[in-house]
Amino acid sequence: MSQRRILVVGGGAAGMTAAIAAAREGCQVVLLERNDRVGKKILATGNGKCNFSNRDMGIVHYYGEDLSTAENILNTFGVEEAEDFFASLGMLIREKNGYLYPASEQASTVLDLLRLELDKLGVEVKTHQKVLKISGGKSREQALTVHTQNDHFSCHSVILACGGCAAPGTGSDGNGYTLAKQLGHSIVPTVPALVQLRCKQKDFKAISGVRAKACVTLLIDGQVVAQEQGELQLTDVGVSGIVVFQLSRMAAYGLKNKKAVAVKIDLMPEYSEEQFRQLMQKRLQDFFHRTLEEFLLGMIHKKLALYFMKQINLKSNQRVSQTEKKSLEKLLLLCKQWHLSVEAAGSFENAQVTAGGVPFSEVTRELESRKMPGVYFAGEILDIDGKCGGYNLQWAWSSGYMAGKNVAKGKKA
């Protein structure tokens, strides 16, 4: 039996893992990468430390229209399998509150080890190869032909692992969706995910850079759809931080569907509404002689206190005792229920991942195309996106490895 020739399109996390898995199964593998080198996006993950997975794994940490196939993939190749995979490459692992990192805490470690394994297995890596088209071949042995801007390659099967639209500077410019559509696939509309939100209020510069523990509630057309608690970061145009990233894909879809999107921010989440009311009553009794700025000391960030006072035309040096009750109530309410209207999600340039993609209804449980037998999918190109915390990289390892193993077996739909 002749050696199966496999082409992997995309040299990111999923593509390299797929190439390794297929090569370990005895396939002849060629990896096509449009950039001058593979793995650019990996270097930016986890602030350069590469949070590659998470102990708290499960499909509940992912979004998409139909995730039963994805759940099966994650159950088959999960966190333990990812750890074993990287251990086989020689990587030691460090755990922080369930988050998994290379012991070196360098994303470059992950990339270098993947590249070493590709080289060891004889995977042929061809850079500067943008794929333009995939067509059916002329014989059973050469079933498919992959056309690039300056070459063409015949093979038995193709794995499309060319990412989504997020971070296009790393090579993920949406070309994979174009290729999928050429093969007859539909695409679930895409939006940026794990990204900051831009608010309609235009005077954020005074509080840009402020970080605060907060509970952030997302409202779409006035209805609560999700809530996250954690560190909030304020920018010169809106809100950011992991607590916002986790809500961003829902906000982006709401905006795409022309709905009203807003966030409600609780800057004192440790207190219930009743506890907060009682606390403020006591502070008003104890500190009625203070200025408003002094009264808010110890409650919220000073820049936020000054910002809130400006919003309701209060002076920082006026006394609590000289302030109208209605104005005081407005000021204190902002600490507990700060409402902001969202006008846009951040761009794909700033997003960590793409929401949307090739629907799972159009691929088999082995990740093979139902439109073009012999073509498989892995990674972000599919309609799945995870929360912050290593979930998107885990999907890359899981889907890449399983696509590589399945393509080696030559499974058909």
Report percent pLDDT > 90 for the chain: 93
**Residues listed for the chain:** 413
Residue 2's pLDDT band (cuts 50, 70, 90): low
Segment 46-74 mean pLDDT:
96
Tell me, yes or no, whether 207 and 317 share the same domain. yes
Residue 53's pLDDT band (cuts 50, 70, 90): very high
Segment 223-229 mean pLDDT:
98
Segment 210-236 mean pLDDT:
98
Q: What is the pLDDT of residue 1?
A: 46
For residue 354, count other CB atoms closer than 10 A to its CB.
Answer: 28
Segment 142-151 mean pLDDT:
90
Tell me, yes or no, whether 182 and 202 share the same domain. no
Q: Express each pLDDT in 100-130 by its tens digit.
A: 999 999 999 999 999 999 999 999 999 999 9
Close Cβ partners of 223 (under 8 Å, ≥ 6 residues apart) = none
Q: What is the pLDDT of residue 412?
A: 39
Question: Are the beta carbons of 256 and 191 closer than 8 angstroms?
Answer: yes
The count of C-alpha atoms lying within 13 angstroms of the C-alpha of 367, restricted to the half-sphere facing its C-beta, is 35
What predicted TM-score, i.e. pTM, was given to this entire model? 0.94
Tell me, yes or no, whether 45 and 182 share the same domain. yes
Tell me, yes or no, whether 217 and 340 share the same domain. yes
Q: What is the pLDDT of residue 143?
A: 86
- From 310, 328, 346, the end of a domain falls on 346
- From 346, 364, 386, the end of a domain falls on 346
CATH code where residue 51 lies: 3.50.50.60
Tell me, yes or no, whether 370 and 338 share the same domain. no
Distances 131 to 8, 47, 135 between C-alpha atoms, Å: 11, 30, 11
Tell me, yes or no, whether 329 and 362 share the same domain. no
Is pLDDT at 137 greater than 70 in this prediction? no
Strands 223-234 and 211-220: antiparallel
Tell me, yes or no, whether 210 and 130 share the same domain. no
Q: What is the pLDDT of residue 141?
A: 56
C-alpha torsion sign, points 7, 9, 10, 15: negative
Q: What is the pLDDT of residue 44?
A: 86
- How wide is the angle at C-alpha 73 spanned by C-alphas 70 and 74, nearest 5°? 85
Q: What is the pLDDT of residue 136?
A: 87
The count of C-alpha atoms lying within 13 angstroms of the C-alpha of 306, restricted to the half-sphere facing its C-beta, is 11
Tokens of 121: 């297995």
Q: What is the pLDDT of residue 140?
A: 52
Q: What is the pLDDT of residue 413?
A: 31
Instruction: Supply the range of the domain harboring residue 41.
Output: 5-191+354-409
d(Cα 152, Cα 146) in Å, to the nearest integer?
5
Mean predicted lDDT score pLDDT of the chain: 95
Segment 262-268 mean pLDDT:
99
Tell me, yes or no, whether 293 and 379 share the same domain. no
Tell me, yes or no, whether 122 and 32 share the same domain. yes
Q: Express each pLDDT in 7-49 by its tens digit.
A: 999 999 999 999 999 999 999 999 999 999 999 999 988 889 9
Tell me, yes or no, whether 161 and 267 share the same domain. no
Count of the separate structural domains present in the chain: 2
Segment 270-284 mean pLDDT:
96
* DSSP state, residue 290: S
Q: Express each pLDDT in 323-349 by its tens digit.
A: 999 999 999 999 999 999 999 999 999
Tell me, yes or no, whether 222 and 159 share the same domain. no
Residue 142's pLDDT band (cuts 50, 70, 90): low
Tell me, yes or no, whether 185 and 305 share the same domain. no
Q: What is the pLDDT of residue 3?
A: 81
